[in-house]
Amino acid sequence: MTDNQRNGFLGSVGRFFFLPTDPSTLGFMRIMAGVLLLYVHLAYSFDLKALVGPNAWWDHQAANIQRREAPHIPTPFGWSTFEPTLYLDDAPHRRTAILEFLRRLPEAASERKVLLRYLSRIFDLTPRDVRDGLFLSNSAGLLFDRDAQGAQVRAALGAPEVPETGSPVTIPDFIRVLQPKERLLVWEDVLAFNSTLPDNTEDREYILGWLGNYPYNRRAKLIQFLVGERPENGPDFSLPSNPSERAEFLEIEDRWATDSRQAASKGTSVFSQWYHLTNSMTIWVVHIAALVVFFLFTIGLWTRVVSVLAWTLALSYIQRGQISLFGQDTMQTILMTYLMIGPSGAALSIDALRKRFRASRSLLATPGRSIPWAEAVLAGPQRTWLANLAIRLVQINFCLVYASSGVSKLKGTTWWEHSASWLVISNPEFGPIRYPAYEWILRHLAESRTGMAIIAAIVSGFTLTIELGFPTLVWTRLRPFVVMGSIMLHLGIAVIMGLNVFSLYMFALLLCYMPAKLIRDRVGYAPGQGKKMTVHFDSRSKQAIRKCSVMRAVDVANQITFVDSPAKDGPSDTVKLTDPSGKILIGAELYAAALRELVLLKPVRLCGHIPGVWPIIQACFGR
């Protein structure tokens, strides 16, 4: 029983994924993807060595360290999120000060616990008290005469009630409420804590600022980490006591902002020839070879092999520049993967014309004989289940991209309050704001709070409606409307954000929702188009068969009627074409008429005006 006959759920699933379909949609997607692939990698050519060379802006040494040593942190399965051992500041100069602070802490955990007792105390208090407590620490570090001024502080703390004046530092409220003896102990803890901080005022403020801004719900674990009391499910995730282990830990934290003890493995499983090529000539030879492969993929020559090569080569450029990846590279990889899986060269390709040539030669060489496979080929692109599977995979993946993008926007607050769209429209890093007219519009729009709110609400609402509604509505009769909405969305992204190539790749992916008949009617050529002609040939001549097979292969609209007219005086290589006006043509005039009248060749008929083209044609097909 076939899927066409099977009822129920399994039958529906089988028909959805495996019902044979016309590969014309895949063919057009291949052309669009190939053009973009060529454009992107031709653009690389202008600064190729700066991108993939040994001394590129991300050079071989840094790239190889990243791919060989970068810790891999497994993503938690479930609703929990990954929590790093340590949250460091992103700014390199502040992070350096923090790491130096960690490096200077005593080796013995018991000593660290004593020195950090003050920090442990204030981290148990309210955010305001934490701020005041760190301010006290900073003030104590700024005392210019520590003996005399320290004595004044002790006198104020030892009084029955702390005086409002007379102390060189501001005493926080959480210390004022303590007993005099306990106040003095807290002051000693402050001094002990300050001994772990650098003398440099700027670095000390960096460290205190980091502690003050540390995530509130992670402060207890920070103290445990610092004093050596942080075991988690067995392993100890505290600051290492051993000097060499601590040095290694801090070096990895500095480079990767990751605790290597949390990593499942090191390095990334990627390959790119650009990690290994250093010679300038070799780099250019490989790059030019890649461009040739992308060109062959675009025109659809040897597509089954070339598509794999194109996918591999495109990935090699992406994997060489991992730290510069963004949506364009992701969409390119998705598109190339499914075009490699499906028969993207079965229609609108040189491969399809070559197959038509072989079918035409078989039929013309045996006039009057039926050859089913050849007749099926000449009838148009053959339906295949693999084409349907590839198209369905693209469609489903596109829906998943939109769903994840839409849901992720709802996780924050900026899309709910409509500020996200305004931040995009007015972002000076994006394209149009550099144009005076666009800037003028933004300035006048910003003067009207109502107008700005309306525009922001429309853009935010439209974006969320398309991204969240597309995955379900595209399978209904509303498909034309949501596809048009998606096109409008990415057109806006191209214009407002300047992400032109990304949007073009999204347009290429959207082609998967276009019916094959629409592609054939608007891009290809359906039978019945163009003016009718007649060709007379001698089926006994191999030369005449070859000439006619070429014409029949490119006659996708079935304009030519081929008539076997054997010559009386033996096989003749001459092929005669009767054009729409009834004129009989041979030789160069025949080729000119074919270029002029055959619908597939019309776009290239101007090539006949280029010097040297006709001799090449005549050398290929004979006179």
DSSP per-residue codes, 286-340: HHHHHHHHHHHHHHTSSHHHHHHHHHHHHHHHHHHTGGG--HHHHHHHHHHHHHH
Higher-scoring residue by pLDDT: 202, 267: 202
Residue 288 buriedness (CB in 10 A; 0-12 / 13-18 / 19+)? exposed
Residue 198 buriedness (CB in 10 A; 0-12 / 13-18 / 19+)? middle
Task: Reduce the DSSP state of residue 436 to 3 states and report it.
Answer: helix
Q: What is the pLDDT of residues 435-449, one digit of tens each?
A: 888 888 888 888 888
Domain boundaries, the chain: 23-54+275-386, 92-266, 406-521, 533-621
Question: Cα–Cα distance between 18 and 201 in angstroms, integer?
Answer: 70
β-strand pairing of 576-578 with 533-537: antiparallel
β-strand pairing of 560-564 with 533-537: parallel
Question: Cα–Cα distance between 339 and 332 in angstroms, integer?
Answer: 11
Number of continuous H segments (helices) and E segments (strands) in the chain: 29, 6
Q: What is the pLDDT of residues 348-364, one digit of tens each?
A: 899 999 999 999 888 88
Question: Cα–Cα distance between 557 and 555 in angstroms, integer?
Answer: 6
* Cβ neighbours of residue 303 closer than 8 Å, sequence gap 6 or more: 30, 297, 343, 344, 345, 349, 351
Contact 303, 353 (CB under 8 A): no
Question: Cα–Cα distance between 456 and 459 in angstroms, integer?
Answer: 5
Question: Cα–Cα distance between 552 and 284 in angstroms, integer?
Answer: 40
- The pLDDT of residue 267: 81
DSSP per-residue codes, 131-166: HHHHHHHHHHHT-SSHHHHHHHHHHHHHSSS--SSS
Taking residues 240-269, what's their average pLDDT?
87
Question: Cα–Cα distance between 129 and 94 in angstroms, integer?
Answer: 24
pLDDT > 50? residue 1: no
- What is the amino acid identity at position 224? Q
Question: Cα–Cα distance between 306 and 504 in angstroms, integer?
Answer: 22
Taking residues 413-420, what's their average pLDDT?
85
Which residues is 578 bridged to in the sheet? 534, 584
Question: Cα–Cα distance between 608 and 611 in angstroms, integer?
Answer: 8
CA 191 vs. chain centroid, Å, equals: 52
Question: Cα–Cα distance between 105 and 115 in angstroms, integer?
Answer: 9
When pLDDT is cut at 50, 70 and 90, the band that residue 378 belongs to is confident
Q: Comparing 160-164, 404-408, 584-588, which segment has the lowest mean pLDDT?
A: 584-588
* Cβ neighbours of residue 417 closer than 8 Å, sequence gap 6 or more: none
- The pLDDT of residue 623: 46
DSSP annotation of 561: E
Instruction: Answer yes or no: pTM beyond 0.85.
Output: no
When pLDDT is cut at 50, 70 and 90, the band that residue 196 belongs to is very high
Say what angle helices 449-473 and 436-446 make with each other, to 10 degrees: 110
Contact 535, 575 (CB under 8 A): yes
How many CB atoms lie under 10 A from the CB of residue 107?
Answer: 13
Residue written as token pair 């490989």: 286
